[in-house]
Structure 1
Amino acid sequence: MSIARTLYSLLTWAAQPLLKRKLRRRAQAEPGYAQAVPERFGYYCPDTLGRDGAGQWVWIHAVSLGETRAAALLINTLRTNLPQLRLLLTHSTATGRAEGQKLLLPDDVQVWLPWDTPAAVQRFLQQFQPLVGVLMETEVWPNLVAGCQRADVPLVLTNARLNAQSFAGAKRWSALSRPAYAALAAVLAQTTQDAERLRQLGAPQPSVLGNLKFDVQPDPALLALGASWRSASRRPVLLLASSREGEEALWLQAWRSTPAAQQVQWLIVPRHPQRFDAVAQLLADAGLRVARRSHWGERLPPHNVDVWLGDSLGEMPLYYASAHAALLGASFAPLGGQNLIEAAACACPIVLGPHTFNFAQAAEQACASGAAVRASDMHDGVHQALNWLYDSDALDAAHQAALAFAQAHRGAAQAQAQAIVRVMLQKKYSNP
């Protein structure tokens, strides 16, 4: 073990009490964090092995909600290519685990990924002995990769992305990052920029196979319900989608200073469920009339309020379909932007803030295609969304461009699934 990884391992070992305390705090707002806590440290019940025991698993790690939804597309395609697939699905967040439960078949297993200490990783690998590991997007952990290398478990980093900020951080810690990336069996990058950054960190011959999120097919029932909301609304509907902390306050400032914005039906959907109550309180304290999605159920949303608050999970297609246009959350604060591809798949034009480094190439392509426009700040974003409402021809063109943009980039799920199968076959024939 290198000096860098030895020091890293000591730090992760020493941080375990802090992790336990953090989990207890998070569980107060999200009870899922109190579930199966020993698994976080590599202690798994023997019955989690399922019917056939260890050594049968295609292991996929999807850290949180967005990665799990992308993994769903990959899992469905892998099941077509590998009819006998036994899925071991791991996560790190409660929302990811809850979403992942929808993807399980009777012989599949779902557990937490262990904290990245050598001992916890070793217990995880000894228990399950996966045939292959598939890490979604960014989840390269030094001890996890080293443990898999020792255990002869090939690791594939799929739907891989690495923004400029993360790339700079990885270079600063190259004594840890370079051996980890170099030990991967395959790297399947979203874009050419991602592939080049990963290559510079030591990843072996990254392939550019596109972004799984383009293959998402929104639920037609949710799209239809959203269209009915939009038709029933007495005012145009604008959406602040997947907003992060601080962005609702920025929006509130823009709303107060823009009389035309006060004539619009606004829909605000916070990214994290633990913030629903806080956002509702913020808006109410500002004197706005707020109706929460959880309160109107199957009825049409009320028309005599300033804001509809989307306080539900799994309904983003409904929210995008109900809006004439959307402002993309996490792009008006320096957080890199949320998933703009989901909005495009729902034919919803997008106003992007200045911070979209998580989806840099997709953001550029969306703007170039007419599916999105760029705003300098929240005030400018609100005005740009209003401009679409004032020009019905431009708005119709943006709706069509958004859908065309999403459809033009599909096919990543099949390409990535086939690449993973090739890695499995290489292991099979190299270990007869």
Structure 2
Amino acid sequence: MNRTLYTLLFHLALPVVMVRLLWRARRAPAYSKRIGERFAVGLPDFQPGGIWVHAVSVGESIAAAPMVGALRARYPQLPITVTCMTPTGSERIRALFGDTVQHCYLPYDLPWAVSRFLQRLQPKLAVVMETELWPNHIHQCARRGIPVALANARLSERSARGYARFARLTGPMLAELNLIAAQTEAEAARFRQLGARDAAVQVTGSIKFDLMIDPTLSRQAEALRQEWSATARPAWIGASTHTGEDEILLAAQRQLLVAHPDALLILVPRHPERFGLVFELCRKQGFTTVRRSLGEPPLAGTQVLLGDTMGELLFLFALADVAFVGGSLVPTGGHNLLEPAALGKPVLTGPHVFNFLDIAAQLRDAGALKEVGSAPELAAGIEAFWTDPASTEQARSAGYHVLKNNQGALGRLLEGLARLLND
């Protein structure tokens, strides 16, 4: 498939795209708002001529935050625009950056919408986070002489096979990229094999290692646990869970309650449209559950605290003693394992971590990460950390050292972006 055929098929699929958008709006009403932006209609009044950063959703927005902060410090004269594709991503961008950046949804990858968007924005540099590549956006930037960088670039073997199936489309697109800042050498090799220019590919490491944690966060969490009279309670978090995982975590919590009747599970679904469904699941399974969004404190008999708020995940990690990171017991690819590690938490994950293979391998090899595949294994892993202070301390220390030993990717990425801006 080449780009002309891709564009034709995209136009033919627009009715399906709209139906899917409206279907998602039934569960998450925010999808029904600002639809015009997705077609480059009704865009905000941008200050043109700056840096455009695209972060598809929440995870990419969080990963982009240190880079955006550094770009603002280095180029205070340039406006920065951050785009995304999801309402949760939009909320996160506003929470992270406020009015310090310009923001809108990224228009769909239709030539006329892309052209209108770029004409309005006129960026000097485009930075795409991780793997969110759109052929017409890349091509239109190339036609206008706008350099495009793929930052914190990752490409799993499975994704590479998918790209290879459409080589006539993806090969020319990758060849038009000016910088691919790959996380690992293996991923750099996959990009080259798929058509990226050798001169454009650079191994910088993952900027997720350059995570900066507010030093007051742990103190705030400890103060809240004291307020809850829960300092001595064993608490664990199941973070960023997807459909099919919540039942497994609740089964593990039921098993833990046998030996630890005061055990508290902080359960945090990945997507806000699932908050209500997961709350009902907890209630139907007989767990005494309170909702964080309502400010309900977990009492002595509370078994589950539902983390149904946005922008609080790091704080909820800080509240727990042990962390399980979701999207990994189902084949989603996992989520960021470094956030709980940076907070000094022993980390558990499921087997499906193909989006974070290198990070998972380093943490596992160092003894900071335990992989589990079932509710009994999860319960046993948490139990081991609760009852063995020595292994807990070893995991905490190992996670910290993995984080520190890999920092520096942000600096290498910024050097590459500076070269593009200077050119």
Q: TM-score, normalised by structure 1?
A: 0.91
- State the identity %: 36
Change (3 A) 1:325 1:43: same
Contact 1:255 1:261 survives alignment (8 Å): no
Corresponding position: 1:48 with 2:41: no
Q: In the alignment, does 2:259 pair up with 1:266? A: no
Structure 1 residue 261, shift from structure 2 partner:
6.5
- Supply the AA of the counterpart residue of 1:201: L
Which of 133, 143, 146 is the equivalent residue of 2:139? 146
Q: Deviations over 1:181-216 (max 9, x none)?
A: 111001001122221211211222321112122222
C-alpha distance after superposition, 1:307-342 (max 9, x if no partner): 111111111121111211111201111111111011
CA RMSD of superposed structures (Å):
2.0
Correspondence 1:344-423 to 2 at 5 A: 344-423=341-420
TM-fit CA distance, 1:102: 3.8
- The worse-fitting range, judged by mean Cα deviation, of 107-116 and 270-279 is 107-116
Name 1:330's counterpart in structure 2: 327
Cα 1:82/1:99, change in 2 over 3 Å: same
Of 15, 37, 40, which aligns to 1:39? 37
Contact 1:255-1:262 within 8 A present in 2 as well = no
Matched-pair contact (CA < 8 Å) for 1:354–1:377: no
Task: Provide the secondary structure at the position in 2 that maps to 1:373.
Answer: strand
Match of 2:276 in 1: 277
Contact 2:52 2:123 (C-alpha < 8 Å) held by counterparts: yes
The more displaced of 63-72 and 12-21 is 12-21
Partner residue in 2 for 1:430: none
- Per the TM alignment, residue 40 of structure 1 is displaced from its structure 2 partner at its CA by 0.5
Say if 2:318 is the partner of 1:321. Answer: yes
Q: What is the DSSP-based 3-state SS (H/G/I as helix, E as strand, rest coil) of the residue aligned with 1:49?
A: coil
2:167 is equivalent to residue 174 of structure 1: yes
Number of residue pairs aligned between Structure 1 and Structure 2: 417
The answer to whether the aligner puts 1:308 opposite 2:301 as a matched pair is: no
What are the Cα deviations for residues 257-289 of structure 1, in whole angstroms up to 9, with x where unaligned?
A: 563366522111111111111001001001111
CA distance in 2, matches of 1:246, 1:332: 8
Partner of 1:130: 123
How far residue 407 of structure 1 moved from its aligned partner, in angstroms, is 2.5
Which is worse superposed, 78-87 or 332-341? 78-87
CA contact (8 A) 1:265 1:306 kept: yes
Superposed CA deviations along residues 67-118 of structure 1, whole A, max 9, x for unmatched, are 1111111011112221212112211111111121245575742121111112
1:48/1:109 contact within 8 Å kept: no
| Greater alpha carbon shift after TM alignment, 255-264 vs 306-315 | 255-264
**Aligned residue in 2 for 1:429:** none
Provide the rounded CA distance (Å) in 2 between the counterparts of 1:306 and 1:74: 39
Aligned to 1:236: 234
Give the 5 Å matches for 1:214-253.
214-230=209-225, 232-233=229-230, 234-253=232-251
Q: Output the amino acid matched with 1:245.
A: T
Structure 2 distance, partners of 1:102, 1:326, is: 24
Distance (Å, rounded) in 2 between the aligned partners of 1:261 and 1:125? 57
Instruction: Give the match for residue 296 of structure 1.
Output: 295
The CA deviation at 1:29 is: 3.6
Q: Report Cα offsets for 1:121-149 as digits up to 9, x if no partner.
A: 12212222211110000011111111111
Q: Among 92, 114, 120, which residue is 1:121 paired with?
A: 114
Q: Deviations over 1:41-75 (max 9, x none)?
A: 12244x5133xxx4x12111111011111111101
Cα distance in 2 for residues equivalent to 1:141 and 1:354:
30
Segments of structure 1 that go 5 or more residues without pairing to the other structure are 427-432
The 10-residue stretch of structure 1 (334-343 or 94-103) with the greater mean CA deviation from structure 2: 94-103
TM-score (norm 2): 0.93
SS of the residue aligned with 2:212? coil
The residue aligned with 2:52 is: 59
Match of 2:337 in 1: 340
* Residue identity in the other structure for 1:18: V
Cα distance, 1:103–1:252 mapped onto 2, change above 3 Å: closer
